[in-house]
Structure 1
Amino acid sequence: MRRYKRTAVAVAAAAALGATGGVAGSGEPPVTGPPPGTAAWNADRALGRALPDPTRAAPADVAAFFAGLGPADRQELVERHPLVVGNLDGVPVRLRYAANARALQGTAYARLAQPGRQILAFDPRGRGQVAEVHGDLERARQVAVIVPGADVDADSFDRAKDPYGTPTGMAKSLRAATDGTTAVVAWTGYTTPVGVGPDSATGGHAEAGAPRLARFTRGLAAVGAPRPSLFCHSYGSVVCGLAAKDAVAKNVVVFGSPGMRADSVRELGTTARVWAAKNPTDWISKVPNVELFGLGHGTDPAARGFGAHRVPAERAQGHTGYFAPGTDSLAAFAAIAQDTGGAVR
């Protein structure tokens, strides 16, 4: 009987959220598929041979292809197909930076091309997707990837308001907490839900985003980067849960999570170490942790029975305070990113 009551509460909550005017989801379809410009790329024979098909080529094959090109041929591809080169996992890091800087010129997101910014991915479709690197991705001994939750896109991923609720703010804070030793990628590489409503209560956007995240991690491996630690906030933890079995990662850290579409760490099917944080003031605790008829995201990863390593978060505040300087959660995140996670209590 208790189970049915909880289920009824979950369905009622999702229905209520979906009907709450301005905070309801937009029903926006998620962006999927290969980068824009793929058709022209696949038809290009300027180098006298076929280019690797973004739809089918593995990141390791892409890396091997570019390793066989000279500087002039690489530059020609950047100039002819900046959106493909800039978004194709397995392309050398600096070449992606150059391609995205070119693709961003003259767009509404031109600020992202300012000197010093390292844009590893930029897709203008929909609300825009972007990934930015903080630090030296080519030489860092540790790499972390921030996977955000709802209401984050190319316009808002680096907004000044509520900085520790944005992937850019989280990335900068984590890098500072590791004394600059960790390269951190602020990854908004999927279409996030808008508001707290049907899009956030269902798994469609996460199901579309998970393969993109898994491929992104394989792209990091293809260019020689260390296995990353994934830091997954709110709805981003749903994405990470679905991507876990296919992603190349050494840690999966979720915080403020509504669930990972799994009942336990074992069900995630990953060899990565799984961590979970939830502070007592986080409103996400009021969301019922059930899944029925596609609504809800399942067991709370911070619950003892889930099997994740618990991250202390008593000094964090609210849903977006986990990366605030001076919090126990940030200190623990830094230890995990630096491979000293055994010191986390």
Structure 2
Amino acid sequence: MRSNRRRGTAVAALVLAAVLGVGSWTPADAQTPLTGPPQGSAQWVADTALGVRLPDPATASPAEVTAFFGGLTPDQQRQLAFRHPQVLGNLDGAPIPLRYLANSLAVTQERVRELSRAADLALPSEEREQAARLAARYAGLSGRRLLAFDPRGRGQLAEVFGDLTHDARTAVLVPGSDTDLSTFDRLADTAKALRTATDDRVAVVAWVGYTTPVGVGIDAAREELARAGAPRLARLVAGLAPVTGPVTLFCHSYGSVVCGQSAPDPAQVAGLVVFASPGLGLARADEVRVPVWAVARNPEDWISNVPNVSVLGFGHGADPTSPAFGAHLLPSTGSHGHSDYFAPGSASLAAFAALAATGSPTTTA
């Protein structure tokens, strides 16, 4: 028993050394995942102004939230948006236009707060400069269709491109490391590229609703952040699907671990598309109850050098592009590196667009 434990520890050390030794992998600070209900939830639960009990954001399902709002008048709904914008804006199952309104109000509130901090001479200059940068960032979010907005930590948000109510199909982009409020516009550009490639027939949600790893270090080699993010993704989908129909999840890099751990419901998810993936934390595609599509890695993607193992909590299991995993393969011709699978004219973007629009790719690898 003791020798087996020593052997397992040695293997884990070798795996970690291999992971952290890959060219693009660097040590990074450990992240504490943002979990639980939105800030202001206690005030929301205590609010009795409408004469009814409001659904507890910590325990109410998206279906229960939808049923609750179905019993309110439009005026009552708007009252809640103005009183509790940061709760309602992040409340899966609430009416989508109401969430847009609430998040617009929440962004404005945060901008005003940061402008006040930037002008407060009692604060150190570094804090005032940071506040000014945040205020400018929030100003850049004005007028956008935000399905979620949470300023805590590194910042989380979700933006909609298209019309969730009327577009025929919906795709959700789930990103990997280093995606947060400060870098969100890169994901937004990817969402725009996918929507354009579908001739604007598909609504695309750019979702940063979980704490992503910083860099590609120990957090990225383990699954704790993915396990914390997976229920948040599942709630998002459960709130969308009754309005949009089953969504297709496009999962990049570490985001594919989040998708794999989210236990997709076939009634809510049409399929998973994973690309630049280190693994889904699963041994086989048939462990997922929906179709899984994996993009063949382009030669410039460093993720190919990451060992596909799972030892003592390190690694994400089988290679999703391997025949043994059993995913449907998609081509990557014309893509470059780890983050350019949506490159204009690439075979991967064409396959993504076809899957998003029809549920089936035009070509396979």
TM-score by length of 2: 0.86
Query: Which of residues 275, 278, 294 in structure 2 aligns to 1:276?
Result: 294
Q: Does 1:235 align with 2:245?
A: no
Residue 210 of structure 2 aligns to which amino acid in structure 1? Y
Shift of 1:339: 1.5
What is the match of residue 4 of structure 2? Answer: none
Residue deviations 1:222-262, cap 9 Å, x none?
4x112110000000000001013457210100000001000
Q: Distance in 1 between matches of 2:253 and 2:11?
A: 21
Q: 1:47 to 1:338 in 2, by over 3 A?
A: same
Corresponding residue SS for 1:73: helix
Q: Does 1:202 align with 2:229?
A: no
Corresponding residue SS for 1:32: coil
Q: Distance in 2 between matches of 1:279 and 1:56?
A: 43
Query: Which of residues 50, 54, 57 in structure 1 aligns to 2:60?
Result: 57
Corresponding residue SS for 2:232: helix
Corresponding residue SS for 2:351: helix
What is the match of residue 316 of structure 1? Answer: 335
Shift of 1:15: 5.1
Corresponding residue SS for 2:99: helix
| Identity across the alignment (%) | 52
Corresponding residue SS for 1:304: coil
Q: Distance in 2 between matches of 1:280 and 1:309?
A: 19
Q: Which has the larger radius of gyration?
A: 2
Corresponding residue SS for 1:60: helix
**TM alignment of 1:62-211, pairs within 5 A:** 62-105=65-108, 106-107=110-111, 108=134, 109-115=137-143, 117-158=144-185, 166-211=186-231
Does structure 1 conserve the Cα–Cα contact (< 8 Å) formed by 2:65 and 2:94? yes
Q: Distance in 1 between matches of 2:11 and 2:275?
A: 22
Q: Alpha carbon RMSD of aligned pairs, Å? A: 2.0
Corresponding residue SS for 1:338: helix
Q: Does 1:10 align with 2:32?
A: no
Residue deviations 1:279-307, cap 9 Å, x none?
22210000000010111111110111101
Does structure 1 conserve the Cα–Cα contact (< 8 Å) formed by 2:12 and 2:312? no
Aligned residues: 329
Does structure 1 conserve the Cα–Cα contact (< 8 Å) formed by 2:19 and 2:306? no
Corresponding residue SS for 1:87: coil
What is the match of residue 163 of structure 1? Answer: none
Consecutive unaligned residues in structure 1, runs of 5 or more = 159-165
Does structure 1 conserve the Cα–Cα contact (< 8 Å) formed by 2:270 and 2:359? no
Consecutive unaligned residues in structure 2, runs of 5 or more = 1-6, 112-133
What is the match of residue 254 of structure 1? Answer: 274
Residue 10 of structure 1 aligns to which amino acid in structure 2? V
Corresponding residue SS for 2:294: strand
Does structure 1 conserve the Cα–Cα contact (< 8 Å) formed by 2:20 and 2:27? no
Residue 256 of structure 1 aligns to which amino acid in structure 2? A
What is the match of residue 162 of structure 1? Answer: none
Q: Distance in 1 between matches of 2:12 and 2:194?
A: 37
Query: Which of residues 324, 328, 340 in structure 2 aligns to 1:305?
Result: 324
Residue 303 of structure 2 aligns to which amino acid in structure 1? I
Q: Distance in 2 between matches of 1:217 and 1:130?
A: 15
Shift of 1:149: 0.2
